[in-house]
Amino acid sequence: MAAIDLIGIGSQSLTHLPPKLTSVKALLAESPALSSLPSSYTFPEHRNDEAFSDTNESIPTLDFSLLTSSNPDERSKMIQELGNACQDWGFFMVTNHGVPESLMKAMIEACRQFFELTEEEKGEYEGKHVLDPIRSGTSFNASVDKVLYWRDYLKIFQHPEFHSPNKPPAFREIAMEYSTRVRQVARELIRGISESLGLEENYIEKAVNLENSLQIMIANLYPPCPQPELAMGLPAHSDHGLVTLLIQNEIGGLQVQHNGKWVNVDPIPNSFLANIGDHVEILGNGKYKSVLHRAVVNNRDVRISIALSNGPALDAAVSPASKFLEDGRNPPTYRAMKYKEYVELQQSNKLDGKSCLERIRNTTI
């Protein structure tokens, strides 16, 4: 991770701070009485000016057990609901998914313990390249972020090869079980999405070589922030890949864009919050859209979220399914790009809305 020079530490004296800090956690450890936000973290956009949804609309909830039901009527009703959720929101909560709540909690606890490690211990996983299989860092991409985000992270590639930090001791075993279980849920959702798009159940699986899918765990730590209204945990972005499944400790902070307005997400306990990624948008030639979301911070509680991104295989070049091109009458909205290049592109630049997807939009149509 790039070391960060923190400048403008508000009311705190700079003399107490080491010249370089590597995480928000380290900043707070050095300045426990920090009462104003360092200017390097001051987000330029004013959130108060933005539109928030004032309706009671909430993200749809899908009962996963019905998606895997042997009763064809129940399953086809769920496929319909899944399609509606993808089309209307791009986000949905998944209940009755079969992943034990104790495992979800253990995963959050293992991530919390990882973030408690010393800066030196975490520094062992300071990624040099965005495709390094384990990366611990801060902000999004501290070497290019003009403003730092109030967020520390741990990113781990868990499939097709499983990686894990060696500390804390229980991390590996919990993460292996958790990633396997989540992959099974993601696979069923991907089959359902394929069918809801009017494709064969296994169309997406085959098109992206799901056997070798890239699964990445992204654990986020958002410590309490002295001036949360001026800071940002993660700015508005869509996800690369097919389906992301997110859990969090009990603390909210995720906001989703819906009909041009931000909606606060209040997940149901013991559920996954799922969203479709850019590669579902590409495969469906824009029928379903990946949706902007962001993480805001608060001044009271530590928030931890864990997103498992389930994507194509690294060497799969994903392009719109021919069904959507109607024998050449509908041009492809997106050009094919290898997933590896797509991930590299997104992770090496500023996190900026859907700019990565825009880069492969076909401009000749």
Ligand X SMILES: O=C(O)CCC(=O)C(=O)O
Binds ligand X by CB under 6 A, chosen from 136, 139, 257, 305: 305
Q: Is the peptide bond before 160 cis (omega within 30 degrees of 0)?
A: yes
Angle among Cα 180, 183, 185 to the nearest 5 degrees reads 115
Which ranges of the chain would DSSP assign to H, the alpha helix?
24-30, 64-67, 72-88, 101-116, 119-123, 171-196, 203-208, 278-283, 339-348, 355-359
Nearer to ligand X by Cβ, of 261 and 323: the residue is 261
Between the alpha carbon of residue 120 and those of residues 21, 23, 217, 249, the distances in Å are 11, 11, 22, 26
Residue 66 contacts by C-beta under 8 Å, 6 or more apart in sequence? 74, 75, 77, 78, 96
What is the nearest approach in angstroms of ligand X to the Cβ of residue 88? 20
> Considering beta carbons, is residue 9 or 236 the nearer one to ligand X?
236
Q: Using an 8 Å Cβ cutoff, are 185 and 308 in contact? A: no
The answer to the question of residue 154 lying near ligand X (CB under 6 A) is no
Q: Closest separation between CB of residue 244 and ligand X, Å? A: 7
Q: Return d(Cα 252, Cα 264) in angstroms, integer.
A: 8
Shortest distance, position 339 Cβ to ligand X, whole Å = 16
| Single-letter code of the amino acid located at 29 | A
Q: Which is nearer to ligand X, 23 or 220 (CB)?
A: 220
Number of residues interacting with ligand X: please give it, by CB under 6 A. Answer: 11
Tell me whether residue 190 or residue 254 sits nearer to ligand X (CB atom). Answer: 254
Measured from the CB atom, is 174 or 216 closer to ligand X?
A: 216
Provide the minimum distance between the beta carbon of 210 and ligand X in the complex, in angstroms, as a whole number.
21
Q: How far is the CB of 324 from ligand X (least distance, A)?
A: 27
- Give the amino acid at 180: T
Taking the complex as a whole, the smallest distance from the CB of residue 105 to ligand X amounts, in Å, to 17
Helix (H) or strand (E) holding 262: strand 261-264
**What distances in angstroms separate CA 89 from CA 6, 65, 186, 237, 291, one per listed residue?**
38, 21, 18, 15, 7
CB nearer to ligand X: give 267 or 320.
Answer: 267
Q: Which of residues 215-274 bind ligand X (CB under 6 A)?
A: 218, 220, 234, 239, 246, 253-254
- When asked if residue 293 is in the footprint of ligand X (CB under 6 A), the reply is yes
Which residue in this structure is represented by tokens 């869509």?
238
For ligand X, give the closer residue by CB, 232 or 307: 307
- Give min distance, CB of 239 to ligand X, in A: 6
Residue 295 touches ligand X, criterion: CB under 6 A: yes
Two tokens, residue 293: 């979301």
Query: Which residues here bind ligand X, judged by CB under 6 A?
Result: 218, 220, 234, 239, 246, 253-254, 293, 295, 305, 307
